[in-house]
Structure 1
Amino acid sequence: MYQSDRIIKEKPHLITRSLYPENQETPIHFLKENVTPSPLTFRRNHFPYPSISIQTYFLTITGHVKTPVTLHYNQIISMPSRTVTSIIECSGNKRAYFEPKVFGEQWTEGAISQGVWKGVPLSHLLSFTGINAGAREVVFLGGDFGLKNGEYVHFERSLPLEKALDPNVIVAWEHNQKLLSPKHGFPFRLIVPGWYGMASVKWLKTIRVLNHHFTGPFQSDDYVYYPHKDQDKDSFPVTTNRVNSIIQQPRDLQILKPGIHEIAGLAWTGEGVITSVEISFDNGETWKTVHLHDTPLKYQWVKWSFSYVFEKNHEYNIMVRAFDSFGRSQPDKAFWNHNGYGYNEVSMVKIQIEK
C-alpha cells in the first residue's frame, strides 16, 4: 500500500517552551471552537506537577475568619455549583514579541485557552467560616512547590476580598464536563474570570483570609509590572486581562495565491466585552470594521473574520486591533515592562501574494 492510499490523520500537539517544569502553548490555528479541549489547553507551571489523591485530600479555610473549617473532596463536590465559561490567559502571553527582549518563557500567542469550569462559588465556601471585620485579602496556596530564590516555597497568590467574593470566582473540580486533569489542577483549582491565569491557583490546598496585604514571592516579586529596567519605581500588580486579539489565518509569512482570502482570529478583554475589531491593510492609514461571529460575552473571546481581495505580486502587512466596552483598545506599541507581562500591541502578520 502506498502512502497516498492511506488516510493520514494529523493530531494537533502543544508547543513545548520548557520541559522541567512543563510549559506548553497551543498553536493558535487549533483554537477553532469556543471550548478548548483539555489536551490542547496550554500548560503553565513554576514547579513539577504535585501528586494529590482524593482519599487523603482536604481543603482548609482558615485565617481571619470566625470558624475555620476543613473540608473533604466529597463534601465540596456535593455543594451548590456554578458553571463559568471563561478564557484563561497567561500574563506572559506574547512575551516573545517584546522589544527589547525580556527574560522568561518565550510564549508567542498560544498561552491562552477557553474552557467550561464547574465548581462551588468561593463566596459560598467563605460563608461557612464567616469573615471577621477588617479582612482585606484571601490567599490561595497550591500543592505545587519547589525552589525559588534558594528557598522551598509553594505557589501562593492572593485576591482582594471584593474580587474573592465575586460570584463568578469558583473553586472548580470540572473542566469541560470532566474531572480536572492532574495537569490542570486536580482535584481543585481556583478560577478567576477576567484576571490573568496566575490568579487561578491550581491544586488548591489552603484558603487563608488576611487582615493585611499578602507579600509572597509570586505576589510581590513576580506578576508585577516593572516599567523600568533597573529599578522598581512605578511598579504595580498584574491583575485583569488587557484587551487583545490574535490573527489565526493567514499565518505570518505565509505565501498565498491572488484573490479573495478570509482573515480570521479571536479577540478578548478582561473587563466588559469586546465591542468591535478593526483591520488595516495599509500600515494603519485606514481601518475597516470586521465581522464578529458571536454576541460578545463577558470573560469569553469572540471570533471575527474579514474577506479581502489580494493582488498578485504584493506583500501585505495585516494589522488588527480590538476595542472593549470600557473604551480601551490595543495600543500601537506595547507597554514594555521588565518581566514581560500583558503584551497587547496591535496584532500583525505579513504575507506575500504569488505572481
Structure 2
Amino acid sequence: MPYEDHSSEGVRQRARAGRRDRGNRDRLRLAAVDGETLTGETAAGEGCPGIVKPLPPELFIPHETNAEMRWEAMRDVGYHVPNERFFVRNHTSTPIIDAATWHLRLHGSGLRNPRSFGYEELLALPSVTRDVAIECAGNGRSFFATQQDQEITGTPWRLGGIGVARWRGAPLAAVLELAGLTPDAVDVMPRGLDADYVADGVDYGRVRRPIPVSKALKDVILAYEMNDAPLPPDHGYPMRLVVPSWIGLASIKWVGDIEVSTSPLASPWNTEFYRMFGEAYPPGGSAPLSVQGIRSAFELPWEATLAVGRPHVLHGRSWSGNGRVAGVEVSFDEGATWHHTQLLGPHVVPAWTRWHITWSPQEVGPHTLLARATDETGAVQPPRTTHNEFGYLFDAAVRHPVKVVKG
C-alpha cells in the first residue's frame, strides 16, 4: 500500500525525530516467520543481536544489529567476499524461514495475472549469474564526523559496509512477465519478511522500497544463490532482490511479496529515509537515493604499522555505481602528489577493481594515505563530500592513518 501523507508536516516531524535518534532504536525485535522465532539469545553473532552467523572480531566490527567487514581481512581474499565474511545490514533481526513453506506473492494494479510462486518454481526458471556489489547507502558515514567535523546520525560505518558476491537467480523481468505485467505499470515494490521496523515509538512496518519498472526489467535478480551456495539466512534466504549499482536498501532481503502498480508507490524508505536532508538540499529533501557513488579502500588495518625504509606493497579496491573503474591514484603526502596504481583485471567485471602500489616510507611517525578512483564516466572522488543529516553516500577520498616505525 502506498505510504500516505508523506509530504505533510506530521511526516516531516517523524523524519526529524528519526534523524535525531536513529541509533537508539529498539535493539532487538523478534522475527517470526512460519512459526519460528529468532532471538538475541539464539543468534550466533556476538555483539550484534539477531545475526545468525559467527562474527569473529578479526573479520567484523559490530554495530548493534549490523556487522561491518574489516578491510584488512580482505588482503588475501579473491574477487568475491566469502559468505562468512560478508557484511550484514539488518533493520531488525534475521528471520529463519522454511523454503518449503515460503512463497513469493505478486500483486497489484500493474499485473494481469497476480499469482504466487513457490521456491522450487523459481529455481526451475532460466537463471542468470552476475557479480554485483551490495553496499549500504551509509557506507563511509563516520568520515563526515572524523574528516569533515560534521554531525550525522546512524550506524558509524567506515568503508566495510560493502561486499561483492556472485549472485544467481531468476531475472525479475521473467517473473513479472509470468504474472502478466501491464504496459502501464510504473513501479514495483518488494517487501521483506523480517519484523516490522520500530524507531522512536513509530512502527514503519516491514522494510520495502519501490523501484521503477524500467530498472526492474533491466537487470534486477531474484537471487537464491550467493557465491555458488544457497543464500545464508543473514543474506536473504530463501530469496532476495539484487539491484545492481543501486544502494543496498533496494536489494530487499527475505522478500515475501512484490506489489506492481500503475501509479507511483512510496514507503518510509524513500520518503523519510534514504534521501538527502540538510542545508544543501530542498526543505523536503532530495529525490530518493538510487545509484551508489564512487569509493576506494585500502586492504590495510586502521593505524597499520609499517617499517621505515622498506618497500611495502599496498593493496586496495575501488568501485562506482556509475560503471567500471578506469584508474586509481594514491597519495602518501596528504594529497600534495598522486601516484597511479596498477589495476588488476579492470575490464573483467564492473563490480569493483583491485589495485596495488609500492611505497617505501622514509620518515618515521604518523602518515596519512589517500586513494581516489576515476570511473568510466570521468567521475573522480572529491576531496570533500556535501553534508547531509543521515550521512549517506560519503564519496570523498578517505584519510587512512598509518604509523611508520623503525624496522
TM-score, normalised with respect to structure 1: 0.91
CA contact (8 A) 1:66 1:132 kept: yes
Pairwise mapping of residues 74-223 of structure 1 onto structure 2 (< 5 A)?
74-99=120-145, 100-146=150-196, 147-148=198-199, 149-151=201-203, 153-166=205-218, 168-223=219-274
Higher strand proportion: 1
Unaligned runs of 5+ in 2: 1-55
Matched, 1:266 2:317: yes
Is the 1:194–1:299 contact (alpha carbons within 8 Å) kept by the matching residues of 2? no
Change over 3 Å in CA distance of 1:181–1:313 after alignment to 2: closer
Q: Which moved more, 1:141-150 or 1:69-78?
A: 141-150
Equivalent AA in structure 2 for residue 27 of structure 1: R
* Counterpart residue identity of residue 125, structure 2: M
Mapped to 2, the partners of 1:231 and 1:180 lie a distance apart of 40
Give the distance between the partners of 2:348 and 2:139, measured in 1 at CA. 21
Shift of the 54–294 alpha-carbon distance from structure 1 to 2, 3 Å rule, reads: same
Q: Contact conserved, 2:172 with 2:221, CA < 8 A, in 1?
A: yes
2:404 maps to which residue? 353
CA distance in 1, matches of 2:257, 2:348: 32
- How far residue 283 of structure 1 moved from its aligned partner, in angstroms, is 2.3
The aligned counterpart of 1:275 is 326
Separation in structure 1 between the aligned mates of residue 59 and residue 328 of structure 2, nearest angstrom: 29
Structure 2: which amino acid aligns with 1:318? Answer: L
* Aligned alpha-carbon RMSD (Å): 2.0
SS in 1 for 2:293: coil
Shift of 1:270: 0.9
1:286 aligns with 2:329: no
Over 3 Å counting, the alpha-carbon distance change for 1:119 and 1:230 in structure 2 is: closer
Pairs aligned (count):
342
Residue identity matched to 1:164: A
* 8 Å CA contact retained: 2:188, 2:216: yes
Q: 1:152 to 1:198 in 2, by over 3 A?
A: closer
Kindly, what percent of the aligned residue pairs are identical?
Answer: 29
Q: Which has the larger displacement, 186-195 or 138-147?
A: 138-147
Alignment-mate amino acid for residue 106 of structure 1: P
SS of 1:55 mapped into structure 2 = coil
Residue by residue, what CA displacement relative to the aligned partner does 1:278-310 show, whole Å, maximum 9, x if unpaired? 112232222211100112445411111111221
User: What one-letter code is carried by the residue in structure 1 that aligns with 2:297?
Assistant: I
Compared with structure 1, are the counterparts of its residues 178 and 308 closer, same or farther at alpha carbon in structure 2 (3 Å cutoff)?
A: same
Structure 1 residues 184 and 227, CA, compared in 2 at 3 Å: closer, same or farther? same
Check the 8 A contact 1:87/1:299 in 2, yes or no.
no
Shift of 1:200: 0.5
Give the Cα–Cα distance (whole angstroms) in 2 for the partners of residues 188 and 123 of structure 1. 15
- 1:50 pairs, out of 75, 79, 95, with 95
Q: Is the 8 A contact 2:325 2:346 kept in 1?
A: no
What TM-score do you get using the length of structure 2 for normalisation? 0.80
Q: Which residue of 1 aligns with 2:31?
A: none
Tell me which residue corresponds to 1:5: none
Residue 72 (structure 2) pairs with residue 29 (structure 1): yes
Give the superposition deviation at 1:139. Answer: 0.5
Sort the Cα spacing of 1:279 and 1:229 in 2 relative to 1 into closer, same or farther, 3 A: closer
Structure 1 gap ranges (5+) = 1-9
CA-to-aligned-CA distance 1:158-178 (integer Å, 9 cap, x gap): 111111001x31000111111
